[in-house]
Amino acid sequence: MPDVRPRAVIFDLDGVLTDTAEQHYLGWQRLADEESLPFDRAANEALRGLSRRESLLALLGGREVDEPTLEAWMERKNRYYVESLADMGPADALPGAVELVEDARRRGCRVAIGSSSKNAPIVLDKLGIADLFDAVADGNSVERAKPAPDLFLEAARLLGVAAGDCVVVEDAASGVDAALAAGMTAVGVGPADRVGHADYRFDRTADVDLGVVLQGNPS
C-alpha cells in the first residue's frame, strides 16, 4: 500500500519568504535610539523570530518598565514597521521563495504559514502570495509564542496533518526550537550558529531542497 498520509510544509514568513527581518530590526533600532536604550544589529540577532512583546523585553534586558510604557513602545515600533511596508510588493519575496512554496505543493504537500507576526496577513497580501497557502497561523492565532510549539501545532491542526508529518522552514533559533518541540522536521535557513540545531540546514531560502528533506535522510 502506498503511504497516503497527507504531509505538510509550514513556512515561517519573516526571514524565510521575505527579508522583513531587516525592517523589524530598523523599527527596534529607531525606538531604542529615541529612548536611549543600548541596541545594535548584533543584539538584534537574539530577537529574530520572537514575538513583539518578547522582542521588547529582550531589548530592555532586565530594565524595569511599566505596562503602559511597554504598550506604547510596542505600538510605536509597530507603526515604524508598518510604515516601512508601504512600498513592499511581489519583488520583495526572497529569491526562490515562491518557487519553494510551489515546489512543496507540486510534491503533494499542504502548505501553511507559521509566523509570529501579527502583520503576517498584510505582508502576504503585499507580496501577492496569500492565495498560495492552505492555512495561515500567525501572531494572532495562539497565546504562547515561539519557542513554544503552539503556533506550528495550530498550523498543523488547520491543515489536518499530524505533527510528525510536518516540515517547518525557519530562519530563527527560536523557530527551530518550536518546530522540534512540536515533533516536526526542522529545516533551518541561515548560518549554523543560528539554526545548526535544525534537522537540515541551508544557507538561503533558494538553496532549500525539499526533495532531500521529504526523503528523510538528515546528514
Three-class SS of residue 179? helix
Sign of CA dihedral 104, 109, 110, 112: negative
In whole angstroms, how close is the CB of 176 to Mg ion at the nearest point? 10
In whole angstroms, how close is the CB of 146 to ligand BG6 at the nearest point? 8
Catalytic, 171? Answer: no
Q: Are 157 and 114 in contact (CB under 8 A)?
A: no
Catalytic, 103? Answer: no
Closest CB to Mg ion: residue number: 15
DSSP label of 103: H
How far is the CA of 216 from the CAs of 2, 41, 160, 167, in angstroms?
A: 16, 35, 21, 10
DSSP label of 66: -
In whole angstroms, how close is the CB of 189 to Mg ion at the nearest point? 9
- Report which secondary-structure segment, H or E, holds 183: none
Residue closer to ligand BG6 (CB basis): 34 or 209: 34
The one of Mg ion, ligand BG6, none whose footprint includes residue 116, by CB under 5 to 8 A per kind, is ligand BG6
Site for Mg ion in 130-189 (CB under 5 A): 171-172
Residue closer to ligand BG6 (CB basis): 45 or 99: 45
Residue closer to Mg ion (CB basis): 7 or 194: 194
Q: Closest Cα partner for 184 from 149, 140, 139, 147?
A: 149
- Applying CB under 6 A, the residues found at the interface with ligand BG6 are 13-15, 21, 24, 47-52, 55, 78, 115-119, 139, 172
Question: Which residues are catalytically annotated?
Answer: 12, 14
